[in-house]
Every structure is written in C-alpha cells, then in structure tokens.
Structure 1
Amino acid sequence: MSDDERPEPKYGVYATPEEQRARIQKPDATWSLETGESVTDDAEKTSANNTARAAGAPADPARSRAVDRIVTFALLAYALVNVAVAAIALLDFPQYAATVFEVMGIPGEFTNLEGGQAWGAAAAVALVIGYLIAAWFSVRRTMAGKLAWWVPLVGAVVTHLVVGALAIVPLMSDPAFTAYLTSIS
C-alpha cells in the first residue's frame, strides 16, 4: 500500500508524537521536565490539582511552604532561648557541675575549677556556633523555597553531641565524679 491508499488511522498510529499531543491537547512532558516550565492550560491545572489532592499530596505548595517557615522559625526561636540559657550555665561551669552532682546524687564537690571554666567556655562557644550554623542553613533553605524544618533539629542533635563531649571532659577528670562512676560499676 502507498501512503495515499492507507486507511484513516483510528488511534493515531501514523501520527508523530507531536501530532498526537496536538490532537489530544497534552503538553510535551519532556520539554516541561527539561525546562521546568509547564505548558498546561487552566483546565489541565485544575484537573491536575484535583488528582493531586485525591492522591494525598498537599493542596497548595505555597501553604506547605508557609507551614514549613512557621515550624522552622518556631524551632529556631525555641532553640535560641535554650542556647542562651545553656550557654550562660556553661560559662559558670562550677555551678553547672554542682547541679550535675546534685541531680545524679554524687557525694562531694566539683574540684576541677580551672579545667571546668576552660571546657565550659569552649562548650558554650560551640553551642552558640552550632546554633548560628543551623540558623544560617535554615534561612538559606527557606529563602530557596526548600524544606527547612529539619535543619534546626539536626543542628540541635549534632551541636549537643559536641557540647556534651566538651562538657564531660572536666567532669571525667574530677576525683569525686570518677569515684562515683567506679562505685556504681
């Protein structure tokens, strides 16, 4: 059969992909993915939004970004208060150690005063720097339109691991603390 004698296609079998898209009025998905732009019309956007809602996706990306911003900045505000209180406590490390001894029920007093002051100051500085880094990354991700709520949480965990390691050094070198640890084991 020659091209002129072919029967009229029922399902677009002879049409090019572009002709098929034009016929069914669907956008070129490859072009949309490569450019990041959408060529859908308002009716298709409405249909796509309804499908997304039915699939459990958020109804409005702007709303989810607003919720992310609120949660992120609430976590940062909460962390700021905690960092301020903890940094002040760590700067007075002998009092901090006395509180640790009291809470743990350790008899005796903290005597490693010089080491405690130096390591406590280092822990306070690490706490403030960790907060500032987490806040900076959170703001950058929020401004870029990316999810940022997890950054303050991860920052808190990492920072507290570092601060805990710095704060335990003077405690482990205190005779009353080590005597207590050996007595319980």
Structure 2
Amino acid sequence: MSDEPRPRPQYGEYATPEEQRAAIRSPEPEPAASADPPHPPTAPATTVAARPTRVADRVITLALLAYGLVTVISAIPQLVDFSEFAKTWMTVAGVEGEFTNTAQGALWGGIGATVFAVGWLLTAVLAWWSLARGKLSWWIPLVGAIVTFLIVSVCLVVPLFGDDALVRGLTLGA
C-alpha cells in the first residue's frame, strides 16, 4: 500500500444515511412501528391555486355555446313559420308540389322550436356546472347539440312525411 493519503470522497459517496441527512438538513425519519397502519393517501388539493385552470377548455366550451345560441335563435323563427320552412325544404329536396299539412306543421314546428330552446338551455346549464367544478366541458355542447338536433329532426319529420304532396313527390322522384 501507498503512504499517500487517500482521496477525499465525493459528496454522499461514503456517507452514512445520518451524515447525508445532516448534510442536506433533513429531519430524522420516525421509526416505523410494525403495529401502525399505513398512512392514508393525501387529500386532493382544495385551494383554487392548486387546481388546473383549463383555459382552452373554457374558451372552446363558451364558443360552442355561443354558436349554439346563434343557431337556436335563427332556427326558432323558421320553425314557428313551418309552412315556409316546409316549402323551402321541398324546393331544396327537389320535390314538386305545395305543403298542405299546415295544422300539423304549425304544431310540430312549435314543438321543435321549444325543444331547440330547452335543449340549448339544458346544455348551457350542464356546461356551466361542469366548468364551475373545473371539469373538462368542451364535449357537453357537442353532445347537447347532437341530442337536441336528433329530437328536433323527429319533430320536423312528422308533419313533413304526413303531407300527401311531399310523399307523392318523393315516391315519384324515386
């Protein structure tokens, strides 16, 4: 062996756990008692600052709700005047004839307009509630629009396909 002094060890290289804790100034761990139950998991953060902000989700959700509101506001007058709506629909579909099921059209057009308004309101309330809880919410206006549109479509099909001129025009065109 050599008479030269041994090189000084790097930090923590030969240090005992007590020396390491003293060097980083951490307290001694409590000795674990074998009879103690394990620690329960820590509670989730309860402060507002600890929660994620989800700014993009909030912006997208509010933009979809605004777009839905514009759509509903523009659709309601068309549905209330169902005869004009049916005439336009028949022209676009290429169906010859005139819509004659006006009484049923007025009833179902009013129902469709109400469903549109209530569907949007319910969607907005659910989205707002979800946003307030800090949950992802962008999907709520999309699902609300799809469900509402499907129900309104059924309301529109009833008087349209209850009209003899429209049914005749569709069967002749096929």
Give your verdict on TM over 0.5.
yes
- Helix, strand or coil for the counterpart of 1:158? helix
Change beyond 3 A, Cα 1:110–1:21: farther
Aligned counterpart for 1:31 among listed residues 6, 21, 41: 41
Count of aligned positions? 139
Shift of the alpha carbon at 1:184? 3.5
Equivalence for 2:20 = none
Residue deviations 1:56-75, cap 9 Å, x none? xxxx932xx11111100000
Equivalence for 2:52 = 61
Equivalence for 1:111 = 100
Larger Rg: 2
Shift of the alpha carbon at 1:98? 0.6
Shift of the alpha carbon at 1:110? 0.4
- Helix, strand or coil for the counterpart of 2:140? helix
Distance in 1 (alpha carbons) for counterparts of 2:135 and 2:167 = 47
Gaps of 5+ in 2: 1-15, 18-28, 33-37
Equivalence for 1:91 = 80
Shift of the alpha carbon at 1:180? 2.0
Equivalence for 1:145 = 134
TM-score, length-scaled by structure 1: 0.69
Distance in 2 (alpha carbons) for counterparts of 1:150 and 1:29 = 37
Q: Which amino acid aligns with 2:116?
A: L
Equivalence for 1:129 = 118
Q: Which amino acid aligns with 1:181?
A: L
Q: Which structure dedicates a bigger proportion of its chain to helix?
A: 1
Q: Which runs of at least 4 in structure 1 moved beyond 6 Å after TM superposition?
A: none
TM-score, length-scaled by structure 2: 0.73
- Whether 2:85 is the aligned partner of 1:75: answer no
